[in-house]
């Protein structure tokens, strides 16, 4: 009896072909992976200074970054560069405009940067990243870049030293001004000089009391600033608060000019003062007398 061989129909071939195509496509779709390199964050620059004292309150708007809170002070409306009285290791006679040097980006860790790899479970070719490309060394900050940063830092330090020297020279040229406003809050030498000055002013003032004020019965008080040089000569006279009567204001200025020059500064006062500013209240009284206090 002869054996009967199985018959392969067209439908069997078509089904096998469809199955094989689906298996290949599934392997291709599921076997593809992608990796992406993460960008390193951009380098930022910060303006940093050293605070000289600690403030209890935190400033609402800070101009610089420091080790602790410090409230600003001074007479300027805008922020300025801070300087230090510490001697620098670099000397320069010229002030140069400098800008904060950005810190070099730290070298990223050596990570394997893989390109998209196509893998299949079937007998197809597999694409892989070459080994020499995986082990490629990551570039580092070279000596030339480091030397450039150090050179820029040296120029910046020298420029700050020159700026500090200029500020010291400007400050040294400023006159040493002392202002006296109250006998109870000044030193004995200053008090003695101020008391002698007051007695002379009142004496000259009463001898030259304005006749118009006496005739029209004008009286009132005003505040006057008198600036005196070390030799006793008059430097300046200024009305800080008016009495409300031009006659009295003009009379006070005239009395100061008639009283000048004043006594020279004593040695103790001369050693510390180039200009002495005396602020006093002048009172023209109803009994036609002048008093300064």
Please, which residues bridge with residue 276 across strands?
178, 228
Average pLDDT, the chain: 72
DSSP letter string, 144-195:
HHHHHHHHHHHHHHHHHHHHHHHHHHHHHHS--EEEE--GGGS-HHHHHHHH
pLDDT (0 to 100) of residue 26: 78
pLDDT (0 to 100) of residue 74: 46
pLDDT (0 to 100) of residue 149: 83
Q: What are 113-149's pLDDT values in tens digits?
A: 555 544 444 444 455 555 555 565 555 556 778 888 8
pLDDT (0 to 100) of residue 141: 56
- Which pTM was predicted? 0.43
* Residue pair 114/34 in contact by the 8 Å Cβ criterion: no
- Percentage above 70 pLDDT, the chain: 53
Under-50 pLDDT residues of the chain? 1-2, 73-76, 107, 111-112, 117-125, 183-185
pLDDT (0 to 100) of residue 187: 58
Domains of the chain with CATH codes: 82-174 (no CATH), 177-292 (3.30.2420.10)
Name, in order, each residue with C-beta under 8 angstroms of 140's C-beta and a sequence gap of 6 or more. 107
Supply 228's token pair.
């005196």
């Amino acid at each position: 009896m002869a054996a009967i061989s199985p018959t392969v129909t067209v439908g069997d071939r078509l089904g096998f072909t469809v199955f094989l195509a689906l298996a290949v496509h599934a392997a291709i779709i599921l076997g593809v992976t992608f990796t992406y390199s993460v960008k390193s964050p951009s380098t930022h620059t910060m303006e940093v200074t050293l605070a000289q004292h600690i403030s209890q309150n935190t400033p609402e708007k800070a101009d610089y970054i420091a080790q602790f809170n410090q409230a600003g002070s001074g007479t300027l409306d805008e922020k300025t560069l801070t300087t230090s009285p510490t001697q620098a290791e670099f000397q320069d006679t010229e002030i140069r405009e400098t800008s904060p040097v950005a810190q070099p980006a730290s070298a990223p860790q050596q990570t394997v940067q893989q390109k998209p790899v196509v893998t299949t479970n079937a007998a197809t070719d597999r694409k892989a990243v070459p080994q020499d490309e995986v082990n490629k060394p990551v570039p580092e900050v070279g000596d030339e870049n480091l030397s450039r940063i150090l050179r820029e830092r040296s120029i910046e330090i020298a420029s700050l030293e020159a700026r500090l020297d200029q500020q010291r020279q400007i400050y040294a040229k400023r006159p040493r001004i002392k202002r006296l406003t109250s006998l109870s809050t000044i030193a004995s030498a200053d008090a003695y000089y101020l008391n002698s000055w007051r007695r002379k002013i009142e004496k000259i003032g009463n001898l030259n009391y304005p006749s118009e004020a006496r005739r029209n019965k004008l009286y009132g008080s005003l505040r006057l600033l008198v600036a005196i040089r070390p030799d006793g000569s008059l430097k300046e006279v200024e009305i800080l608060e008016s009495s409300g009567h031009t006659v009295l204001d003009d009379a006070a200025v005239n009395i100061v000019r008639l009283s000048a020059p004043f006594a020279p500064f004593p040695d103790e006062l001369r050693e510390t003062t180039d200009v002495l500013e005396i602020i006093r209240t002048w009172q023209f009284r109803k009994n036609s007398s002048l008093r300064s206090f």
